[in-house]
């Protein structure tokens, strides 16, 4: 037991993107330092209202969160507590709930997005006026903000030296679980007048999506995917780039919402890396990229859009400032091209199949994210922010830091991005990573009868083969909306304004 003399009376743990009750920093500290602990979650209308305004009432992420909360509530009640769930502005409801419960301390795990930082500061200020303490703890990353620096004490902007410094700094203690003693007797039963249950999705303006049918939710869903992936992790390096192959971990959404801790993932990957697993080595590198993008955002908040922005390109800067001088396509033609891209009607099968996968499931294979992003920006000449916003609205695992980093990588405007002259060829990418057209056939079934040779570029098929396959270009499958060769030439011209910026390397 913990020494009673050091304990505060009551604590409140505020869950956000850490939807679990194991290996949880804030919950561990609350149970360690308070006699009685309450746990809460707020469906924050500052976030949800924007989704509803954009017509996302069937947002799979809200359904995922809701189902994950049900599991947390069940687990907490089995240990004497329960989960208090509210719907409204978190900046107002957390101070109100803290006062209603009479707590001495509010605990949460740190968030690094500018809007979240602003929200937390507002909550901290409000509860401080009532003599309530506020603690925000590191939990969703291994190293945060300025914990990994260059030899001269600066912030990295290139991934490989950051990764090397990250690995050098890592100690076993960094990966230790924040063990939570649920049997401590300190989880407090919710007062009856405050125990109003979890508001229904419908009452908040959202609908069931059926996401659990293909992506098990909550802590149990995360454990399921993690255990299954461990049987394949040693082959990850060989399978991760092929969308028709079961190569990824499928843990990205669980990592995003914290139904499993990042420490558990990194600990397993690092242990296997040391044992010589190439697959684990590559996967660990992916996890370090996650820390890298969080670090970039924390040190460059200008990358986030202004909270008042009504358009995805407003108040939203490129990491390399010179890249904001690029003149993107605009007007009706840009809207037409963007519509074809988001609806999977570009005439390039791999791009279209990837967009159909995203639109139907909320998931897109990582290799395909690079392909469709490059196509939008460097084939169609559309501002990368348009694609970034579309992904933000539709990706189950949307995380601002990683999404922004990925789109700026594809557009060459970000830190450690691909060179401006590197332009993915959607046909050769298709031939290389979906050689038998299995992925294309799944998501573009109208092309299923084409041979493996021409399925990557149907317009190159002969008229007889198209007729046998039942394809009429322009009717049941579109002509290419742009010629890749011509688009490449136009992109090199478009990017001429940033040649000097790309020629000077930075660390």
Query: Which of 288, 284, 275, 271 has its CA nearest to residue 237?
Result: 284
The three-class DSSP label of residue 146 is coil
Residues whose CB falls within 8 Å of the CB of residue 136, separated by 6 or more in sequence, listed in order: 108, 109, 110, 120, 124
Both structure tokens of 220: 């149990």
How far apart CA 378 and CA 384 sit, in angstroms, is 9
Determine which one of 144, 145, 212, 366 is catalytic: 366
Neighbouring CB atoms inside 10 A of 96's CB total 13
Q: Cβ contacts of residue 14 below 8 Å, gap of 6+?
A: 26, 40, 41, 42, 90, 94, 106, 107, 108
Show the beta-strand stretches assigned E in 75-168. Answer: 83-88, 105-109, 133-137
Catalytic hit among 145, 147, 317, 328: 328
Helix, strand, coil in percent for the chain, rounding step 5? 55, 5, 40
Residue 492: φ, ψ to 5°: -60, -35
| Residue 166 designated active-site | no
Q: For residue 65, which of 221, 192, 187, 188 has the smallest C-alpha distance?
A: 221
Catalytically annotated residue among 113, 133, 147, 286 = 286
Residue 461 host element (H or E) = none
Would you call 283 a catalytic residue per the annotation?
no
Which residue in the list 14, 166, 283, 384 is annotated as catalytic? 384
SS3 35: strand
Catalytic residue among 14, 166, 283, 289: 289
Annotated catalytic residue, options 14, 341, 386, 407: 407
**Catalytic: 289?**
yes
Contacts of 299 (CB under 8 A, 6+ apart): 145, 146, 155
- Minimal CA–CA distance to 400: which of 45, 65, 140? 140
Query: Tokens at residue 406, please?
Result: 């990925």
| 425 annotated active-site | no
384 is catalytic: yes
Residues with catalytic annotation? 286, 289, 328, 366, 384, 407
């Amino acid at each position: 037991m913990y020494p009673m003399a050091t304990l505060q009376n009551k604590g409140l743990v505020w869950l956000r993107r850490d939807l679990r009750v194991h290996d949880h920093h804030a919950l561990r500290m609350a149970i360690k330092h308070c006699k009685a602990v309450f746990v809460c979650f707020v469906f924050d209308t500052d976030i949800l209202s924007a989704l509803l305004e954009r017509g996302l009432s069937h947002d799979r992420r809200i359904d995922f969160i809701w189902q994950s909360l049900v599991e947390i509530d069940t687990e907490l009640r089995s240990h004497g507590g329960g989960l208090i769930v509210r719907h409204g502005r978190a900046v107002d409801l957390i101070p109100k709930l803290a006062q209603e419960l009479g707590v001495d301390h509010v605990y949460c795990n740190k968030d690094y997005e500018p809007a979240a930082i602003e929200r937390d500061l507002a909550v901290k200020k409000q509860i401080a006026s009532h003599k309530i303490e506020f603690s925000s703890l590191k939990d969703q990353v291994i190293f945060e903000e300025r914990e990994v620096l260059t030899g001269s004490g600066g912030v990295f902007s290139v991934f490989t030296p950051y990764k090397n410094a990250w690995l050098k700094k890592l100690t076993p203690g960094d990966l230790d679980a924040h063990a939570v003693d649920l049997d401590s007797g300190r989880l407090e039963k919710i007062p009856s007048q405050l125990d109003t249950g979890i508001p229904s999705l419908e009452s908040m303006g959202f609908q069931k999506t059926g996401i659990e049918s293909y992506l098990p939710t909550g802590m149990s869903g995360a454990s399921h995917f993690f255990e299954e992936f461990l049987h394949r992790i040693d082959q990850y390096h060989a399978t991760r780039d092929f969308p028709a192959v079961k190569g990824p971990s499928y843990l990205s959404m669980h990592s995003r919402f914290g139904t499993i801790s990042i420490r558990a993932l990194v600990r397993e990957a690092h242990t296997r890396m040391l044992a010589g697993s190439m697959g684990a080595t590559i996967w660990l590198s992916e996890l370090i990229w996650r820390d890298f993008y969080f670090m970039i955002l924390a040190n460059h908040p200008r990358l986030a859009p202004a909270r008042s922005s009504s358009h995805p390109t407003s108040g939203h800067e490129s990491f390399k400032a010179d890249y904001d001088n690029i003149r993107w396509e605009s007007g009706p033609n840009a809207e037409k091209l963007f519509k074809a891209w988001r609806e999977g009607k570009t005439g390039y099968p791999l791009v279209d199949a990837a967009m159909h996968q995203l639109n139907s499931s909320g998931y897109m294979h990582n290799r395909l994210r690079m392909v469709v992003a490059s196509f939008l920006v460097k084939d169609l000449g559309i501002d990368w922010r348009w694609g970034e916003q579309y992904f933000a609205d539709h990706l189950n695992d949307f995380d601002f830091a990683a999404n922004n980093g990925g789109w700026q990588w594809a557009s060459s405007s970000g830190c450690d991005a691909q060179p401006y002259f590197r332009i993915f060829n959607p046909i050769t990418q298709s031939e290389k990573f979906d050689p038998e057209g299995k992925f294309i056939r799944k998501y573009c079934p109208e092309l299923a009868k084409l041979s493996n040779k021409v399925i990557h570029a149907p317009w190159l098929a002969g008229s007889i083969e198209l007729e046998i396959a039942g394809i009429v270009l322009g009717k049941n499958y579109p002509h290419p909306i742009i010629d890749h060769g011509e688009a490449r030439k136009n992109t090199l011209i478009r990017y001429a304004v940033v040649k000097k910026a790309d020629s000077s390397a930075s660390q």
